[in-house]
Chains A and B, each alone.
Chain A
Amino acid sequence: MATKTYAGVNIEVNDEGYMTDSSQWTKEVANEIAKEEGIELTDKHFEVIEYIRNKVAAGKSLTIRGINKSGVVNAKIFYQLFPGAPLKKATKISGVPKPVSCI
């Protein structure tokens, strides 16, 4: 367990940089984590982040299929918004645990 400073706040993160206390998440924190991942967040990103945070808060698992059907973005745009490893990056920026699903 480690602590990182994002937007002037000490945030608890695990070895991989995922926030361990989702309640510490703010938009400012998200912006700074995103910058580390090389992403500049837009309103569309925040819509996706909101969807992810709500899903996780409801105890549901995240899959690329779920995101494709979310009505917020389709899979193609999701890949464009978070290029590289989209679900890993999106969850990291959303301040929720790394997804454990294989799909």
Chain B
Amino acid sequence: MENDEKYKLKKVLIICSKGTLEDVYAALVMGNGAVMEGIETKMFFTFFGLDAITKKYMNKLHTSTVGNPSMRMPGGLAFPTMLGGLPGVEAGVTSMMKKEMEKLDMPPVDEFLELIEAGGGEIFACKLAADMFKLKKEDFHETVKDIITVGDLYALCDGPGTQIIFT
């Protein structure tokens, strides 16, 4: 039997597993957007995504200039992968990206996490990845609520109208 009833999105769990600037911001923008829509929001950072919540690295994320066919020169010309590997290129591209993001009033990572927390969003670190990278609670930003296991993570996803987003 078909059921056409629509369920309003009530809760999202956003998983961020990558540590490049654009992957982290994709997760943060979606997380903050959900909070602002009044959707209950949990964010789970794992593997290289842990950089986004690690005090030492969170505001120094880079965009990858190698193996990214969508990256172009200003003006739209192709950006050769070989060029992306040269010293300083990644830093230059990252700084350009950050400048463009600042123009749109996109906050730095720590400020973004604080805005999400202010709206009631919750931020978690993955236990397995934290163990692997030898990171402890004190290495993480103060907005990180807890270090949790996969089991804990699924327990957070109860209730109808919950969606998991993996970035």
Binding site for B on A (CB under 8 A): 61, 63-66, 68, 74-76, 78-79, 83-88, 101-103
Contact = CB atoms under 8 A, between A and B. Distances in A.
B37 A85 contact: yes
Q: Is the interface of A mostly helix, strand, loop or mixed?
A: helix
Interface residues on B, range: 10 to 19
Given A84-B38, A85-B38, A87-B36, A103 B118 contact: no
A87 B4 CA distance: 31
A103 B29 contact: yes
Interface of B: 29, 32-33, 36-38, 104-107, 111, 114-115, 118-120
A29 to B, nearest CB: 23
19 contacts: A64-B32, A65-B106, A65-B111, A66-B105, A68-B115, A68-B118, A75-B114, A75-B115, A75-B118, A79-B118, A79-B119, A84-B38, A85-B36, A86-B119, A88-B36, A101-B105, A103-B29, A103-B33, A103-B107
